[in-house]
Amino acid sequence: MAFLRLILLSFIAVSCIDNSPRPKSPGELISGTDEFGKTYQVDEIEIEIGTVTPHRCVTDNFITYFPNGNYEINEGATKCEPHDPPGTIGQWYMDRSEERLIVEIGDSLQVWEVDEIDDQTHRITSSFKEGHRTYTFTLSR
């Protein structure tokens, strides 16, 4: 009888263990979890009162976020300026709330708001001012 109770208790203990996978954090969703990272392209630029089609020298660039906190921007086939470097590397991280992606560009930080992120959809935006205009960039995957 004691042996039967032991088997029954063991079965109950094993069946109560939660084997469901842990949901991915926004940082894991943005960068992936393998060494190859995830790559994005700029697909929309909004300037104050409307949306413009970005120049090809912007839209053919690829931005890859790696899970180790590095990022890489690879210049596409077209360049906005002839002296643009072929690529840029740097660091990125999520803020504590995991609602913002912080990208270190030289001595400055660029903040990207996480608009929508799940296993299928990734949409982040960043805005900056130049003169009297505000530009909002949207990266999607």
pLDDT in tens, the chain (141 residues): 565 555 655 555 555 556 677 788 888 888 877 777 777 776 666 655 556 666 777 777 888 889 999 998 888 888 888 888 888 889 999 999 989 999 998 888 989 999 888 877 788 888 877 788 777 877 777
Confirm whether 12 is domain-assigned. no
Confirm whether 19 is domain-assigned. no
Confirm whether 84 is domain-assigned. yes
Confirm whether 45 is domain-assigned. yes
Task: Give this prediction's pTM.
Answer: 0.69
Confirm whether 73 is domain-assigned. yes
Confirm whether 89 is domain-assigned. yes
Contact by Cβ (8 Å): 69, 62: no
- DSSP-assigned letters across all residues of 33-56: SSTT-EEEEEEEEEETTEEEPPPH
**Short-list 68, 70, 73, CA closest to 39:** 73
Total domains in the chain come to: 1
Non-local CB neighbours of 114 within 8 Å, separated by 6+ positions: 26, 30, 98, 99, 100, 101, 123, 124
User: Any idea what the CATH number is for the domain that residue 37 is in?
Assistant: 2.40.128.540
Containing structural domain, residue 123: 24-140
Secondary element (H or E) of residue 108 = strand 108-117
